[in-house]
Amino acid sequence: MSLDRAVLAFAGVMVLLSVVLTVFVSIYWLWFTAFIGFNMLQSAFTGFCPAAMIFKKLGIKPGTAF
């Protein structure tokens, strides 16, 4: 799995987790969903992605975007 796909998979899991937490725990978990969306948006414009940096350090091979 390339770094790009790992970041997309991680973002997808986090969004789904935040939706489940919103439904079953508290409506305030929507703030986590908004944070994830904001982070994805800023990453698209700046190329800076904290998750990509962590995955790189874990040894996942680079992709074309990160």
Per-residue pLDDT of the chain (66 residues; tens, 9 = 90+): 899 999 999 999 999 999 999 999 999 999 999 999 999 999 999 999 999 999 999 999 988 876
Q: How far apart are the C-alpha atoms of 55 and 27, rounded to whole Å?
A: 30
Distance CA 9, CA 2 (A): 11
